[in-house]
Structure 1
Amino acid sequence: MRKFLYENGLLLATFVLIASSLVGQVLTGWHDNNDDLQQMGLATLSLGQYLGSGHLLEATFENWESEFLQMGVYVVLTIGLRQKGSPESKKLTGEEDVDQQPDPAKPDAPWPVRRGGWWLRLYQHSLSIVFLLLFLGAMYLHARGGTIVYNIEQAHEGKPLVDVWGYLHTSRFWFESFQNWQSEFVSIFSLVSLSIFLRQQSSPQSKPVDAATSETGK
């Protein structure tokens, strides 16, 4: 067990952080949503009802959408773009291990590499493909949850209801999306730029403390 915890500590720690913050979001969102419903003179929700509400669905996947976009964009941009002095960038010159063509003759090569053809093509780009699918799925669930919340407000004001496609055409949906997207791009910019000059002892996201500012790579 100790070996398992040591070898998977980073993944386990982030899972605990996700779960604990999600619990906090649910509890606070439940009260916040009920406050809004009370102001509209509508019946409040039990905690169980809130777990299936559009309010929680929208709030959760609005954020997940931007996170998947951030990581997908980061993966794709670092394929061809460079940043002098940043450990988040590939070297300015020369080929790196990740640029080499996969070798099906390696004894421990994954099955898609040994199979070749379309299986290899998909495997070569599987990380960015999955991030794209996760982004699109989260975007849809964001829109679906937002549609439910939007229609509750529309019905209260006696205005027409919309379907998910209709909600995608509202400025509200895109405002929710763009305000999150830009914050994720700010985080990428901050990580790339600050890591040029600043250091963190023992972190793989940082260059060695005694490395020159102009050096690229860890």
Structure 2
Amino acid sequence: MRRFVRDNGLSLGFGIAFLFALAGQAAAGHAEFNNQLATDGLAQISFGNYLMSSDFAVDVTENWQSEYLQFFLYIVATVWLLQRGSPESKALNKAGTESDQEQRTGEHARHDSPRWAGIGGARQALFSRSLGLVMGGLFLLSWLAQSISGVAAYNEQQLRQLQAPIDWGNYLASADFWSRSLQNWQSELLAVASMAILSVYLRQRGSPESKPVGTPHTSTGVEG
């Protein structure tokens, strides 16, 4: 058990932190939602009913879709885009998908390489892009979930104000949907850009996201 925790500490740590943060968001969101209901002169709802509500769902999924978009764009963009001196970038001479030898695919696969790395054909092509495809798919699924829960939450608000609800297509063109999306996208893109440039000049001893402390600023693609 101790070895399992050590070997999976990163995913376990962030997974547990995620659950605590989600629970905190649910508790705070429930209180805020009931305060709004009280202001509108409506009956408050239980915590369980809030967890099943479109308001909670849209608040959660709008953050999920922006995070998966961030990682999808970062994974794909770093194939071609470089940043001199950053450990977040590949070496300056390695832009692109690289050779089979560098990627250990086809005849260059080793005995311990994943099976599909050396098998060739469509399976190798799929496996070699699987991370980007899954992240892109998770973004689309969470974006869809956000749009569906978002239109439900928006229409609930419309009915409280005695205004007509709208359909899903019109919600996708609404300011509410794009305001929710873009306010998250811009923060994620800013964070990635900041990490790429700050890691050129700043260090975090022992972190694989940082270069070793004594590495020159111009060293690219070097991790500590």
Same topology, TM > 0.5? yes
Q: Judging changes above 3 Å, is the alpha-carbon distance between structure 1 residues 54 and 95 closer, same or farther for their aligned structure 2 residues? A: closer
Tell me which amino acid in the other structure corresponds to 1:161: P
The answer as to 2:136 corresponding to 1:143 is no
State the secondary structure of the residue aligned to 2:37.
helix
What CA deviation, in whole Å up to 9, does each residue of 1:53-96 have, x standing for no partner?
A: 01110000100110000001111111011111111111112589
TM-score if structure 1 supplies the norm length?
0.94
C-alpha deviation, 1:156, in angstroms: 1.7
Aligned 8 A contact 1:87 1:217 in 2:
yes
Written as runs of structure 1 = structure 2, the 5 A alignment for 1:67-86 is 67-86=67-86
- Match of residue 106, structure 2, among 103, 107, 114: 103
Indicate the residue corresponding to 1:128 in structure 2: 132
Indicate the residue corresponding to 1:22 in structure 2: 22
What CA deviation, in whole Å up to 9, does each residue of 1:93-122 have, x standing for no partner?
A: 2589x7332135532332323443222211
User: Identical aligned pairs, as a percentage?
Assistant: 38
Tell me which amino acid in the other structure corresponds to 1:35: N
Written as runs of structure 1 = structure 2, the 5 A alignment for 1:150-161 is 150-161=154-165
Gaps of 5+ in 2: none
Number of residues of Structure 1 aligned to a counterpart in Structure 2: 217
TM-score if structure 2 supplies the norm length?
0.91
Tell me the distance in 1 between the aligned counterparts of 2:4 and 2:42: 50
Tell me the distance in 2 between the aligned counterparts of 1:21 and 1:75: 25
Gaps of 5+ in 1: none
Indicate the residue corresponding to 2:58 in structure 1: 58
Written as runs of structure 1 = structure 2, the 5 A alignment for 1:180-195 is 180-195=184-199
Aligned 8 A contact 1:91 1:217 in 2:
yes
Tell me the distance in 1 between the aligned counterparts of 2:120 and 2:215: 40
Tell me which amino acid in the other structure corresponds to 1:189: A
Tell me the distance in 2 between the aligned counterparts of 1:140 and 1:162: 17
Aligned 8 A contact 2:116 2:123 in 1:
yes
Aligned 8 A contact 1:103 1:109 in 2:
no
State the secondary structure of the residue aligned to 2:6.
helix
Aligned 8 A contact 1:38 1:44 in 2:
yes
State the secondary structure of the residue aligned to 2:78.
helix
Q: Judging changes above 3 Å, is the alpha-carbon distance between structure 1 residues 149 and 170 closer, same or farther for their aligned structure 2 residues? A: same
Indicate the residue corresponding to 2:43 in structure 1: 43
What CA deviation, in whole Å up to 9, does each residue of 1:104-151 have, x standing for no partner?
A: 553233232344322221111111111111111111111122112111
Tell me which amino acid in the other structure corresponds to 1:186: L
The answer as to 2:215 corresponding to 1:211 is yes
Tell me the distance in 2 between the aligned counterparts of 1:94 and 1:193: 19
Tell me which amino acid in the other structure corresponds to 2:98: D
Tell me the distance in 2 between the aligned counterparts of 1:120 and 1:94: 21
Tell me the distance in 1 between the aligned counterparts of 2:94 and 2:170: 50
Tell me which amino acid in the other structure corresponds to 1:208: P
